[in-house]
Structure 1
């Protein structure tokens, strides 16, 4: 399956401004914790309860301009955007905290 990968700053800007809630996994291929939590994040993206949220990932080494734009300092970092604005983030590979954050965000964005 695999999550869609954002590869340019223009694409990133377009995606976060679409009017749909977005959660992005900022990752790196060399990052051990990223490799552990990445599949967990991807699993959440396929769950029906999160169908109103778009899930993406960005490789910080392939897209340093995006990483610099949003101030990534450590991987993994998960950032939540709604209507073009960053509304939350989580740094680290904590599956429970990631799940809680996704659930809370999904509940807040339901109309």
Structure 2
């Protein structure tokens, strides 16, 4: 019985390590805060601001693409800030965004690209790649 418990404990520990390793390689997704964007820009980080609305079908399609990109190791250091189209109008204006489903990419303080209503996985991935400075 003890041997079985040790086996299960070892298996559980291995599963936790694998799960944690997967999380560590995922990009970070957080609610938009101007202070978070400014801090990331000042630190030279890769950032994508996602202007989104819960009721927007194009936004949902973009979210699926972003979720797919989250699994790619090359994007593990990208920060995605979700800006709420319905509640954060002042923040939208400050970024020059006029529409929902807008993606704005930054590498540090530099804007590297912008798209509106793009649901092509390849071009959204290219926008994310523009933040990597390669």
Q: Distance in 2 between matches of 1:5 and 1:22?
A: 12
Contact 2:40 2:108 in 1 (8 A): no
How far off is 1:87 after superposition? 2.1
Partner of 2:124: 98
The runs of at least 4 consecutive aligned structure 1 residues that moved more than 3 Å come to none
Give aligned pairs, total. 107
Rg (Cα) greater in structure: 2
Q: Distance in 2 between matches of 1:26 and 1:33?
A: 11
Partner of 1:53: 78
Partner of 1:23: 48
- Relative contact order higher in (CA < 8 Å, ≥ 6 apart): 1
Contact 1:45 1:55 in 2 (8 A): no
2:97 to 64, 72, 84: 72
- Normalising by structure 2, report the TM-score: 0.67
- Structure 1: gaps of 5 or more residues: none
Judging by fraction of residues, say which structure has more helix.
2
